[in-house]
Chains A and B, each alone.
Chain A
Amino acid sequence: MFAYLVRRLFLMLVTLFGISIVIFFLLRIVPGNIVDILFAAAGYVDPADKANLEKELGIDRPLIVQYWHWISGFLRGDFGYSYVSEKPALQEILPRIPITARLAGLALLFSASIGIPLGVISAVKQGTKLDYALRVVSLSGLSLPSFWLGLLILTASVAMFGQMPIFNPNPQTWLEAFATYAVPAAAVGFRSAALTMRITRSSMLEVLRQDYIRTARAKGASEATVNYQHALKNAILPVITVIGIEAAFLIGGLIVTETVFNIPGVARYLVEAIRWRDYPIVQNLVMFIAVVVVFANFTVDMLYAVFDPRIRYTD
């Protein structure tokens, strides 16, 4: 197990190094840089001013030098300065991470707490009206785009309550803070819950047909024990995989929700930074997301061993 852990950690580092190269060079392939954008916005270009600015920002240097400057700084914890705000990149990025993390965490909680129980119920009650109703709900969750659902929630809130559940940067109470995140988390978590529910259902249906489930019932175990202790424990592996993937997706994939609910999180900031070609922000943010994704995958792999004793990571 220890050797496996070391090997996985080494692979993670290699993966992150590869990602850093891809991020860096892909960003430079995209036409235009911050200087082009600044001058485009100003509607003029002065070659001397342009050259000065490129020099000031260091984007006139060879790419390999620029890469080394970034990656060596990154390893030292020096993330550079935002080209746009001229503030340290870390100072720009750090306050946004908890915002997105809270939103993603709450959305995942919503997804798991709704999706898993309903998936189990749907599987146990297969073919009943309840099962059909739950399947319709899960299908609609997968079909409704979260931006549309978000806008619908906002419009309905204004029309029905005259209130607008958009981001409140300074909530006064715990309840206000929860309300700030709960509505967007529900909007984005609905799709995630639907996916979790469907995976739970199909996985449970497969497990419920196994011999050992019949044996458990024959031994007189209660339905709850059979479903939750014997069946769910064995059906949960694919669900964990999906939740892991969703967790990674949610960190960077909340752009639409953050835009609609005006949440100043990581995803919206990343898109804005890409629009400005703000290389230090984009590079460091994408690296941060890559680290989260790689660690999420690693955690899922480790959880496999916890939930399924048959899985043993040996050499």
Chain B
Amino acid sequence: MRSVWALAATAALSLLTISTATLAAEPKQGGILRMYHRDSPGNASIHEGATYSLNVPFMPVFNNLVIYKQDVAQNSMDSIVPELAESWAWVNGNKTLTFKLRQGVKWHDGKPFTSADVKCTFDMLMGKAQQKFRQNPRKSWYDQVSDISTNGESEVSFNLKRPQPSLLALLASGYTPVYPCHVSPAEMRTHPIGTGPFKFVEFKANESIKLTRNPDYWRKGRPYLDGIELTIIPNRSTAILAFVAGKFDMTFPTEVTIPLVRDVKQQAPNAICEIAPTNVSTNIIVNSSSPPFDNVDIRRAMAMALDRKAFISIMFEGQGDIGGTMLPPPNGLWGMPKEMLETIPGYGPDVKANREEAKKLMQKAGYGPDKHLAVKVSTRNIPIYRDPAVILIDQLKTIYIDGEVDVVETANWFPKVARKDYMIGLNLTGNAVDDPDQSFYENYSCGSERNYTNYCNKEIEKLFDVQSQETNIEKRKKLVWDIDKKLQEDVARPIVFHSRMGSCWQPYVKGLTVMTNSSYNGYRYEDVWLDK
């Protein structure tokens, strides 16, 4: 009898716990989410920028046609959901992507959203509209789109030159909001108008950005927050101290270094911190158009001398990923499996043996213990660039290469790289979408503006097109692995490591998901709420 009572009591207690937990998990309306911003974005127009410093504050102002589901950490085709579109369909042999648009959606200034706005946005992105963006860094994303056609106010079609299944992935990025037709690009840079869960209030350069709840948001019951306020604090120490002191509800996303995450946890034990890959690779750009790096042996030797684990240990306390161009699994969808990666020269676990091979290649090229090769390693004057450049120089010493850091101000970095005024460069490449089309075409296709090294291999380029048209994911994956392997073997742009960074927030911040294969797509914030 006693055991029956005990059982009943346990059951009642469990029920109570479950119901309390359910109650606790019920989202609450209201409150302002306060976070700091790492720097002052140049403007407020997502389409004209190429940094997530823009996406974080302004993504909540907009909607896309489709979006990566905001509560799923890993972006994939399966996690794409409709947003301004209600549904989509591939027709015409996968050469037309048609969207049925949501009805009754209004821009923040009260005007109705229609298919004309979609056409306007993408015509401008393709450079076909009369109005132009001052800068259009992702124009190449739409190279395969021949035109955009509308069918009434609620249907729009992307007509392609050839099938490109991953167009949907590009459209789901935080970099692909729909802009209003009736607002000029210049106005969008200073006062963005969107259809999103939050309305733009003000942007004071170097001071703050304020957003307020959109009461007419088409998704009923969202957003939960009354607003979002970002205080611009470029000094990292001040920003972290302010978070620890409770001045902010969360840090700037994926911006807290691994040692700082440890500090935060020590000083604010209740804070929740997550460390995730950013899909930003640190890589080496080699000027192969002039001696000595026109010699492929020297390029190979350099790639083989890399001790990638050492980079990750020194810079990220061991929390980083070794891979090729594509972010490695399990967080990355398209990265080569470890077994395949280790077959690439320089990726094998025996660093000493790799370096012996590298030394032989250097000797073949005429260098040795008595004749070292002097090089300048150019890099931007920012710690995340400078620090690995110093480690690289140390590692190159082991194969008779004496390096010297050539620190370049940001203003001069890209012009310098574009005019090939460097020998070796230490570079960072961020990928907005974990998809091979974005990475391969942007960084490795012949003539691409972001192909800094001018690597051009027509055979590989054909393979880019083959993988791009492949609809079977598993088949495409294998093609992508082969391409990535070949790119590393060609020393097109040796990848050193893929970084990880931390995000921290106070325990009362709920509904936040840190994406694990891109740091550009997870800032709609309509599901975020404050449990206080």
Binding site for B on A (CB under 8 A): 31-33, 36-46, 49, 52-53, 56, 82, 84-87, 92, 151, 154-155, 157-158, 162-164, 166, 169, 259-262, 264, 268-269, 272, 275-277
Contact = CB atoms under 8 A, between A and B. Distances in A.
B241 A38 contact: no
A31 B412 contact: yes
B238 A260 contact: yes
A86 B411 contact: no
B235 A260 contact: yes
Interface residues of B, number: 44
A162 B245 contact: yes
B42 A32 contact: no
Contacts of A164: 241-242, 245, 247
B189 interface: yes
A45 B414 contact: yes
A46 B140 CA distance: 12
Contacts of A151: 237-238
B415 A262 contact: no
B42 A262 contact: no
B42 to A, nearest CB: 5
A44 B411 contact: no
A275 B42 CA distance: 11
Interface of B: 40, 42-43, 48-51, 132, 134-137, 186, 189-190, 203-208, 231, 233-235, 237-238, 241-242, 244-247, 267, 409-415, 418, 449-450
A203 to B, nearest CB: 38
A166 B412 contact: no
Contact of A85 (B50, B205, B235, B245): B205
Contacts of A260: 235, 237-238
A266 to B, nearest CB: 11
A259 B50 contact: no
Contacts of B132: 52
Given A32-B415, A164-B241, A272-B40, 16 more contacts: A39-B135, A39-B414, A40-B412, A41-B42, A41-B410, A53-B134, A56-B134, A84-B42, A86-B189, A154-B237, A158-B244, A259-B234, A259-B238, A262-B242, A272-B206, A275-B410
Contacts of A31: 409, 411-412
Contact of A40 (B134, B136, B208, B414): B414
Contacts of A44: 50, 137, 449-450
Contact of A155 (B42, B43, B207, B241): B241
A166 B238 contact: yes
Give 6 closest A-B pairs by Cβ, nearest first: A32-B411, A40-B414, A164-B245, A44-B449, A42-B137, A42-B50
B449 A85 contact: no
Contacts of A53: 134-135
Given A162-B245, A260-B238, A264-B204, A40 B137 contact: no
A85 B190 contact: yes
Contacts of A41: 42, 49-51, 410
Contacts of A261: 238
A28 to B, nearest CB: 13
B281 to A, nearest CB: 13
Contact of A37 (B134, B235, B411, B449): B411
Contacts of B267: 158
A241 to B, nearest CB: 33
B438 to A, nearest CB: 13
B235 A86 contact: no
B415 to A, nearest CB: 6
| Best-buried of B43, B132, B237 by chain A (most CB within 10 Å) | B237
A275 B89 CA distance: 47
B264 to A, nearest CB: 12
A32 B231 contact: no
A162 B245 CA distance: 5
A82 B43 CA distance: 11
Contact of A32 (B134, B245, B409): B409
